[in-house]
Amino acid sequence: MTADTVPYDAGLPPRLTRLTFHGPLSEARATGMVRRLAATRPASVLDIGCGWGELMLRLLDAVPGASGVGVDLNADDLARGRGAAKARGLAGRVEFAQESAVGTGRGPADVVLCLGASQALGDDPWTALRELRRLVADGGRVLLGEGFWQRTPTEAELSRMWPGASVTDHHDLAALTDLAVSAGFRPEWTETASPDEWEEFESAYQADTEVWLAAHPDHPLAPETRERLDTHRAAWLTYRGVLGLAYLTLVPTKR
């Protein structure tokens, strides 16, 4: 049994309660994204790897009559999304589906969101981009959140990131954008997460569990929880300033 599988009543902290978005995304940037996407008046929204679908819900709230589908494998995140939809009066306009996005038949949609979740569509950005082109309707928009190297990491840095980290895991921003163009898009808007957004996200990602661990150092799950927290912190403090996150608003080229 691990910390991820123990129910909340076992004395563990609630999961990710300090995160509004499951990624380095500020309120100001999210507001701008919703405004631009809402201006296209989408009737349908598809969120790949949606988590709890916060940005999708905000977009649906901004476009009365639009409907949405969020696809993810994490039951807890999906339940959180359903609860948020109900609280905002959107439950009748959105579905949170626990299923794989590989080969999904959920599209085409007027807006497709894929924020830090391209791995849900394929093993590499090219495969994911080709799938996103298939899933978006002509005249629609894709909002892709994708990692890129701000500079080439050293071997020493790679060894302290995620297991098996390689320089080939990501492109630089120019190559990533070129890849999107090759996959059948034109970039309408290009922006990148700021250092402040990254630090807020990474701190909030671990904060609940860090506070719990400080109060329960002798809990049976404390050793593995400590190792997980320390490993993740070491990784992000290594890729801090090396790994970026691009938010690309992409317009599909007419077929």
Residue 247, Cα to own-chain centre: how many angstroms? 10
Q: How far is CA 11 from CA 25, 81, 178, 187, 212, in A?
A: 30, 23, 48, 47, 9
Query: pTM, whole model, 2 decimals?
Result: 0.93
What is the C-alpha separation between 122 and 104, in angstroms, rounded?
A: 12
Q: Provide the pLDDT confidence category of residue 10 given band limits of 50, 70 and 90.
A: low
pLDDT at residue 61 in the model: 98
Q: Kindly report the average pLDDT of the chain as a whole number.
A: 94
170 lies in some domain:
yes
The total number of structural domains in the chain stands at 1
Instruction: For 179-195, give the DSSP string.
Output: HHHHTTEEEEEEEE--H
Dihedrals phi, psi of 83, to nearest 5 degrees:
-65, -40
In single-letter form, the type of residue at position 165 comes to A
Q: Give the domain extent around 122.
A: 23-151+164-195+243-252
- In DSSP terms, which residues pair with 34 in a beta bridge? none
Residue 4 falls within a domain, yes or no? no
In a domain, 183, yes or no: yes
Residue 215 within a domain: no
| Predicted pLDDT at 6 | 37
| CB-based contact 52:75 (threshold 8 Å) | no
Residue 47: which CATH number? 3.40.50.150
* Distance of alpha carbon 201 from alpha carbon 27, whole angstroms: 12
Antiparallel, parallel or unpaired: β 243-252 and 185-192: antiparallel
In-domain check, residue 12: no
pLDDT in tens, 174-187: 999 999 999 999 99
- Is residue 230 situated within a structural domain? no
Residue 52 has pLDDT above 80, yes or no: yes
Would 32 be classed as within a structural domain?
Answer: yes
Q: Is residue 15 part of a domain?
A: no
pLDDT, one tens digit per residue, over 77-127 is: 999 999 999 999 999 999 999 999 999 999 899 999 999 999 999 989 999
33 pLDDT exceeds 80? yes
